[in-house]
Amino acid sequence: MSFGRFDRGGMDAPMSDINMTPLIDVMLVLLVIFIITAPLLAGHIAVDLPKVNTPAAQQAPKSLSVSIQKDGRLYLGDRPTTLAALKARFAEAAKVRSDTELRIRADTAAPYGDVARVMGAAQDSGLTRIGLITQPAGAASGVVAR
C-alpha cells in the first residue's frame, strides 16, 4: 500500500492499490467464529445405542442425613434406624461413592456420646466428609428439621 503526497501535480492517474483493512477485518471475524464453533461441532458423535431391559443403575446419594433426638433415637433421612443399620448403610455408601458427605442434625439436648458414636461409625466405614447441621442464631426455635 503506498501513501502518496498531497502535491501530485497534474497527474490524475487512478490509485491501483487495494485497501486491505476491510479484508483483514472480515477474515479476523471469520477466524473468531470458527474458533468458537469448531469445538462444538467435533464434540458430538452420533451413535445408535442398543436397547436392553435392565434395572436402572443404583447410585449412592452425594449426602446422607442423620438426625439424633434428645432421647437418643436415630433417623436416616426421615426413617427411624439403629446404629448397626447406620454402620451398614455408611459402609455401602462409602463403597459405592467415597466422597459421600454425612450431615448430622443433633438435638441440643442429645448426649455428646450419641453424636460421637455416629461420627465414629461413619469414619470406620470410610466416610470422611462429616458436617454438623446447625440453626442460625436468629431463627425460630422448636422448628423440626427434616
> Any idea what the Cα angle at residue 92 is, between residues 144 and 104, rounded to 5°?
25
Phi, psi angle pair for 83, to nearest 5°:
-65, -35
What pLDDT, on the 0 to 100 scale, is given for residue 18? 81
**Residues 117 and 79: beta-carbon distance below 8 Å:** no
pLDDT digits (tens, 9 = 90+) for 53-79: 766 655 545 888 888 888 888 998 888
Residue bearing cell 458423535 = 45
d(CA 52, CA 31): 44
Q: Which residue has the higher pLDDT, 59 or 109?
A: 109
Instruction: DSSP for the chain, please give it.
Output: -----S--TT--PPP-----HHHHHHHHHHHHHHHHHHHHHHT-----PPP---PPPP---SEEEEEE-TT--EEETTEEE-HHHHHHHHHHHHHH-TTPEEEEEE-TTS-HHHHHHHHHHHHHHT--EEEE----TTSPTTPPP-
- All domains in the chain, ordered by first residue: 63-132 (3.30.420.270)
The answer to whether the predicted template modeling score (pTM) of the entire model surpasses 0.75 is no
d(CA 42, CA 6): 54
Res. 143: pLDDT tops 60: no
pLDDT digits (tens, 9 = 90+) for 4-56: 556 555 567 777 788 889 999 999 999 999 888 887 776 555 555 567 676 66
> Any idea what the Cα angle at residue 90 is, between residues 89 and 95, rounded to 5°?
100
